A and B are shown apart, each in its own frame.
Chain A
Amino acid sequence: MTTGTTGEGVWTANRVSVSGLVRSYGTRRALDGIDLELGPGVTGLLGRNGAGKTTLMRCLATDLEASGGRMRVLGRDPERSADRTEIRRRMGYLPQFPSFYPHFTVFGLLDYVAVLKELGGRRERHDEVRRAMRRVDLYDRRHSRVRRLSGGMRQRLGLAAALLGDPELLLLDEPTIGLDPEQRIRFRDLVSELAVRSTVVLSTHQIEDVAALCRRVLCLDQGRVIFDGTPGELVARARGRVWEQGSRPEEGVTSWRLADGRYRVLVPEGVENPDSAARVPVEPSLEDAYLLLTGARSGTR
């Protein structure tokens, strides 16, 4: 057992331990030497498209073999077949694009997953399935065929499948896509509740979800961790670099037009503020900080 600090708290009992993790597709390295330790709580995984988030999630979920490095998930080695099976029993995984058999009912599909997750006898299993349906607000649709569900309902169905059996490790890849605001709030509430006992990894482009849920943020870029800390630490790095001004800024900074016609300007580290007199410094959001982190590296405007 190891411990770590985030600045906002201490997490114990590491459930994921990764060192030098490499995953290649041909000559391209999707993961290029990842090191991380994860304990209970919600960890947000941020990064642009192709940064390696989904590959990392699939490796952690034992769905994808690593090309190199060392990994321990829930104390087990995913390269060993018996360990891999044990990990899968104790883990919940919502893939980025879950594919559901359209002819199943909601109950049937969850029962199928519950059988495969080895959730006890029939009665206990069905109780657990009902509980999962209630948690994602799908109980009323339990007899509906999957093909009749909306995109958001399917997303909740995938979440329910991942939640079955109270997993110790919950890997959620883009879980809030298609959820309406009400469902997103409910989702956040649910994940927060789960994170008391479980390790939750949330891969997302929804910065608000990370801001609302995560005690720790990992930013990936080109298969490497470029930031590992709390959301507060990430935001702190952006202080003094976020401005609002009336005119379109010059090249070399990240900016966008606001609803009131002003421009929000993110000035990367190392770039001089050309016209600080015309600008008003503002408190950065997590999104600003993330954009500064990734934009600075790629040199966007």
Chain B
Amino acid sequence: MSGVPTFWALTRFNLRHLLVSPVFLVVVPVALVGLVYSAYRPPMPTWSDLIDQVRLQALGLAAVMFAVTTFPAIREVRHSEGFALPLSARARLLSLSLASVLVTSVCVGVLVLSHLVANSQPTAGTASPPAVLALFVLAWCGPLGAVASAVWTRSYTPLVVLLLLVPAYLLYTVTSMGTRADEILRRLNGVARWVLDPLPVAEPAVTELGVLSLLHISFMAAFLLVFAFARREGSWFLRPVTLGAAALLLAGVAFVNVYAQRTYSYETPFTDQDLYGAEADPCRVREGVTYCPLPGYESWIDYWHAALSPTVARIPDRARDRLPVVWQGTQHLRRDVREFQTGGLVFPRSAQPFPPPGTVIVFDEWDPEDPYYRDALATEVTMNVLGLPRYWDHSCSGAGQARIVLGAWMVSADERLGTEAAEEFLSSYDPSELDLSLTHAILGLPQQSVSQVVEEHWESLLSADTTTEELAELLELSVADDAVPDPAWAPNRWSGLPSPYGSDQRDPACR
């Protein structure tokens, strides 16, 4: 029988004994249940959220597996030496490391699966395989650290220190809030984060970031393993060589860290080609609206369209070509689209087709039950269609312009948003009292009658020169009529802010 089958037989033995060890049987299920139960579950889960969550959980799991592995590691270094057994001490430690890593991997897999299964919606987005693998390797550092510490100390001291440090840290975190110690903790957290995660950018879909993350944590895991073996190396020649290899791996950790910190920042843009699972043409058209989701977010088109379709239905068919393209982006992804939209530079790295002039950005967060997201999307699309500048880019006054009243009517098409959306829309364009009154009156009219007027006079209504009075006339509403109520229905919208219509100083008129 050669040594290889013995190695596997020992690995199976180690696996069995790890799984039935009292520490494992008690601590791991409790930890897993705790980690799964306490996990944050967003209404529309994404791989980005999942990776963030599992990274934290993997760290906790690493600590637990450190405890579980310490016991058999001590067995190997303190109790199995004198029997002159055929499998070398290094092979036995490697076998134990492998068994622990396998058990840890299964636990990480359970954590990942728990997110995928327990989430109410399918997990959107993508994560590059290296980014996912990095989570596993991060958790491996626990058992490998246990082996390394047992080999070097031959005692349970590291485990005792860990058992004291973790609760002390948690307690300190709570009790130090608002004190100077809070700053110390913050810095400690920063150092820990620096050591464990070199990237200042959290975009798991970006393959190059995933590769860096995996490289960094793999160097760390390999360092722990080689560092452990260096202690077992008795030869005067091999021991310094092994220690040198461990030092090189540690230098690798530092190098990747420094490289990542210097290369990437919060401002770093990535193109679609950098994304795992990117398609050549990510865009899909629904009822004339073009949606360009990020890879893996295709299912969200339904939600975006559900938010937009009532508003789109109020736009005349012949005006559908004015509908903007809905692009999905984040701080780092599709930044070229965003920069174009805001008049900034288009990044030369972009190989995407140049985005059309009318673009709307949606992000990687969405909650179909939260009106904020629907309102924001409907509002931005309406602004584009009506040619109104985006108020957060160019502050201007739309007072007296028929199109801001029309916009308020369009965004209120979603019954779930109702008049609040109209108020919100108007408030962005410094409306006059008449605008408010007319908007309220229009919302009281049958939709069909307003739609008919909009259909017939669309082109003129888009003009900044068409006034609110003219729109009232088209709708056969008299502004002096009693049908126009007191505009006080909306003052709470601006309470606490300088009154946009009570001031003599207005922004320049929107063009």
A and B associate: yes
Contact residues of B: prevailing secondary structure: helix
Residue of B nearest to A100 (CB): B79
Q: Are A88 and B84 in contact (CB under 8 A)?
A: yes
Q: Given the complex of chains A and B, what is the CA–CA distance between A228 and B474 in angstroms?
A: 127
Q: Given the complex of chains A and B, what is the CA–CA distance between A117 and B10 in angstroms?
A: 10
Q: Which of A86, A91, A116 has the most CB of B within 10 A?
A: A116
Partner of A99, one of B21, B78, B84: B78
Q: Given the complex of chains A and B, what is the CA–CA distance between A290 and B454 in angstroms?
A: 122
Partner of A116, one of B17, B71, B79, B92: B92
- Indicate if B75 sits at the interface (CB-CB under 8 A): yes
Given known pairs A115-B13, A116-B10, the reply for A161 and B75 (CB within 8 Å) is no
Q: Which of A104, A108, A118 has the most CB of B within 10 A?
A: A118
- Indicate if A263 sits at the interface (CB-CB under 8 A): no
Residues of B within 8 A of A104 (CB): 75
Q: Given the complex of chains A and B, what is the CA–CA distance between A85 and B71 in angstroms?
A: 26
- Indicate if B348 sits at the interface (CB-CB under 8 A): no
- Indicate if A175 sits at the interface (CB-CB under 8 A): no
- Indicate if B339 sits at the interface (CB-CB under 8 A): no
Partner of A118, one of B6, B13, B81, B88: B6
Q: Are B83 and A95 in contact (CB under 8 A)?
A: yes
- Indicate if B238 sits at the interface (CB-CB under 8 A): no
Q: Given the complex of chains A and B, what is the CA–CA distance between A178 and B80 in angstroms?
A: 21
Q: Are A116 and B87 in contact (CB under 8 A)?
A: yes
| Contact size range, B | 20 to 34
Q: Are A118 and B84 in contact (CB under 8 A)?
A: no
- Indicate if B5 sits at the interface (CB-CB under 8 A): yes
Residues of B within 8 A of A62 (CB): 84
Q: Are B82 and A98 in contact (CB under 8 A)?
A: yes
- Indicate if A71 sits at the interface (CB-CB under 8 A): no
Q: Are A118 and B80 in contact (CB under 8 A)?
A: no
- Indicate if B161 sits at the interface (CB-CB under 8 A): no
- Indicate if A63 sits at the interface (CB-CB under 8 A): yes
Residues of A within 8 A of B92 (CB): 116
- Indicate if B480 sits at the interface (CB-CB under 8 A): no
- Indicate if B280 sits at the interface (CB-CB under 8 A): no
Residue of B nearest to A78 (CB): B84
- Indicate if A16 sits at the interface (CB-CB under 8 A): no
Q: Are A113 and B83 in contact (CB under 8 A)?
A: yes
Q: Given the complex of chains A and B, what is the CA–CA distance between A104 and B17 in angstroms?
A: 9
Taken residue by residue from 35 to 53, chain A's Cβ proximity to chain B (1 for < 8 Å, 0 otherwise) reads as 0000000000000000000
Residue of B nearest to A86 (CB): B86
Given known pairs A85-B86, A101-B80, the reply for A115 and B3 (CB within 8 Å) is no
Q: Are B81 and A99 in contact (CB under 8 A)?
A: yes
Q: Given the complex of chains A and B, what is the CA–CA distance between A88 and B82 in angstroms?
A: 12
Taken residue by residue from 152 to 165, chain A's Cβ proximity to chain B (1 for < 8 Å, 0 otherwise) reads as 00000000010000
Taken residue by residue from 86 to 114, chain A's Cβ proximity to chain B (1 for < 8 Å, 0 otherwise) reads as 10110101010111111110001001110
Given known pairs A108-B17, A116-B92, A118-B9, the reply for A88 and B85 (CB within 8 Å) is yes
Q: Given the complex of chains A and B, what is the CA–CA distance between A117 and B87 in angstroms?
A: 8
Q: Are A118 and B5 in contact (CB under 8 A)?
A: yes
Q: Given the complex of chains A and B, what is the CA–CA distance between A91 and B85 in angstroms?
A: 9
Residue of A nearest to B76 (CB): A101
Residues of A within 8 A of B17 (CB): 108
Residue of A nearest to B2 (CB): A118
Q: Given the complex of chains A and B, what is the CA–CA distance between A91 and B88 in angstroms?
A: 15
Q: Given the complex of chains A and B, what is the CA–CA distance between A141 and B256 in angstroms?
A: 54
- Indicate if A61 sits at the interface (CB-CB under 8 A): yes
B233 → A minimal CB distance (Å): 14
A132 → B minimal CB distance (Å): 14
Given known pairs A115-B13, A116-B92, the reply for A99 and B82 (CB within 8 Å) is yes
Q: Are A103 and B86 in contact (CB under 8 A)?
A: no
Residues of A within 8 A of B71 (CB): 103
Q: Given the complex of chains A and B, what is the CA–CA distance between A205 and B143 in angstroms?
A: 44
Given known pairs A85-B3, A108-B17, A111-B13, the reply for A118 and B82 (CB within 8 Å) is no
- Residues in B61-120 with C-beta less than 8 Å from chain A: 71, 74-75, 78-88, 92
Q: Are A115 and B6 in contact (CB under 8 A)?
A: yes
Residues of A within 8 A of B88 (CB): 85
Q: Are A116 and B86 in contact (CB under 8 A)?
A: yes
- Indicate if B174 sits at the interface (CB-CB under 8 A): no
Q: Given the complex of chains A and B, what is the CA–CA distance between A118 and B85 in angstroms?
A: 10
Given known pairs A108-B17, A111-B13, the reply for A116 and B84 (CB within 8 Å) is no
Q: Given the complex of chains A and B, what is the CA–CA distance between A108 and B71 in angstroms?
A: 14
Partner of A95, one of B1, B3, B82, B87: B82
Q: Given the complex of chains A and B, what is the CA–CA distance between A115 and B8 in angstroms?
A: 10
Residue of A nearest to B1 (CB): A118
B99 → A minimal CB distance (Å): 12
Given known pairs A85-B3, A108-B17, A118-B1, the reply for A113 and B85 (CB within 8 Å) is yes
Q: Are B83 and A115 in contact (CB under 8 A)?
A: no
Residue of B nearest to A65 (CB): B234
Q: Are A93 and B84 in contact (CB under 8 A)?
A: yes
Q: Are A112 and B82 in contact (CB under 8 A)?
A: no
Partner of A63, one of B3, B74, B82: B82
Residues of B within 8 A of A93 (CB): 83-84
Partner of A101, one of B10, B13, B79, B87: B79
Q: Which of B1, B13, B78, B92 has the most CB of A within 10 A?
A: B13
Write the residues of chain A forming the contact surface with B, with a CB cutoff of 8 angstroms. Answer: 61-63, 85-86, 88-89, 91, 93, 95, 97-104, 108, 111-113, 115-118, 120, 161
A-B CB contact pairs (8 Å), 28 listed: A61-B84, A85-B86, A86-B86, A88-B85, A89-B1, A89-B86, A91-B84, A93-B83, A95-B83, A98-B83, A101-B74, A101-B79, A103-B21, A104-B75, A111-B13, A113-B85, A115-B9, A115-B13, A116-B6, A116-B10, A116-B83, A116-B85, A116-B87, A117-B85, A117-B86, A118-B6, A118-B9, A118-B86
Nearest first, the 5 closest Cβ-Cβ pairs linking A and B are: A101-B75, A95-B82, A101-B79, A88-B86, A116-B85
Additional 15 contacts, C-beta under 8 A, given A63-B82, A118-B5 = A61-B84, A85-B88, A88-B84, A88-B85, A93-B83, A95-B82, A99-B78, A99-B79, A103-B75, A104-B75, A112-B80, A116-B6, A116-B10, A116-B92, A118-B9
